[in-house]
Amino acid sequence: MVRALATAFLFALSLAAQDPTLTDDKIPKENPFTTPADVKRGQHLFQGHCAPCHGPAGEGSRGPSLARPRLPRAPDEQSLFKLLRNGIEGTEMPGAWVMIDKEIWQTAAFVRTLGRTAVESLPGDRARGEAVFRGKGKCAGCHSVTGQGGRTGPDLTEVGTRRSASYLRRKLVDPTGDLPEGFLQVTVATKEGRRITGIRLNEDTYSLQLRDLSDRPHSFWKTDLKQIQKDWGKTPMPGYRGVLTDSEMEDVVAYLASLRGVS
């Protein structure tokens, strides 16, 4: 009870600290807090609130890389402030409700310095990596790139902007760690005796939709199912240690890191 009251108090305090008159049309076009002291304070805030998803240097991990000269969702200072303050609806990016406006600006000032971070030099060859991705690795059977490939796994068209090379290496070795929010493998058993395993697409009180491991969609009324098994933390993606050589792994990482969307 005490913990709940404390949380409610902090939430109310944070709301009170925000400027209620700072509507979108009144947000300054330029960041008013960009001194070295502001940037340093922004770095501390970033490490506490943002680094767990974006990496300590903004290199990307569970969240996208921020070490880029231009952020697609925040090309100017107003849009970056609004993105940090409000979050991104429908994604894992929350709003900065625990920060006052000055702290949001300071965090934004630090984020802008990340775009000047040197791009990591990777030892792999991305052309060979694409060949492994589409051939020996059989990755395209589940993942699509620019509309080509399977749909069971996440789309990888922009994975190079969202994931660091170190994150990609880890996922190739252990794909079960740090699954995307909302990703869930499900096995259902129908009353007729069929068993189907796939990735949940949607679920409500009465129905369940999934895409099986052959990339075929299915929709069920829950009253027609004998069992619904939710495999939290599991994924049909295999680990590639022992399947790919070390050089092939580096080639695939180089290919995936090069995927930055359609120009």
Q: DSSP class of residue 119?
A: P
CB neighbour burial string for 18-37, b if at least 16 within 10 angstroms, e if fewer: eeeeeeeeebeeebebbeee
Same domain, 50 and 76: yes
Q: For 68-85, what is each residue's pLDDT tens digit?
A: 767 888 989 999 999 999
pLDDT of residue 212: 95
Is the torsion defined by CA of 18, 68, 155, 123 positive or negative? negative
Residue 4 pLDDT grade (very low, low, confident, very high; cuts 50, 70, 90): very low
Same domain, 74 and 161: no
Same domain, 46 and 96: yes
- The Cα 179–Cα 171 span in angstroms is 9
Mean per-residue pLDDT of the chain = 87
Q: For 33-71, what is each residue's pLDDT tens digit?
A: 999 999 999 999 999 999 998 888 887 878 888 877 678
Number of domains in the chain: 3
The structure's pTM equals 0.64
Instruction: Name which residue leads in pLDDT, 182 or 243.
Output: 243
Least confident segment among 18-22, 34-38, 187-191, 242-246: 18-22
> Is a pLDDT exceeding 50 seen at residue 5?
no
Q: By percentage, how much of the chain surpasses pLDDT 70? A: 87
Same domain, 130 and 253: yes
In a domain, 121, yes or no: no
Same domain, 194 and 161: no
Same domain, 43 and 97: yes
Same domain, 133 and 248: yes
Residue 74 DSSP SS3: strand
Residues 249, 240: contact at Cβ < 8 Å?
A: yes
> Is a pLDDT exceeding 60 seen at residue 18?
no
Same domain, 189 and 148: no
In a domain, 263, yes or no: no
Domain that holds residue 219: 185-231
Q: For 201-251, what is each residue's pLDDT tens digit?
A: 999 999 999 999 999 999 999 999 999 999 998 999 999 999 999 999 999
The β-bridge partners of 176 are: none
Q: For 117-157, what is each residue's pLDDT tens digit?
A: 555 789 999 999 999 999 999 999 999 999 999 988 889 99
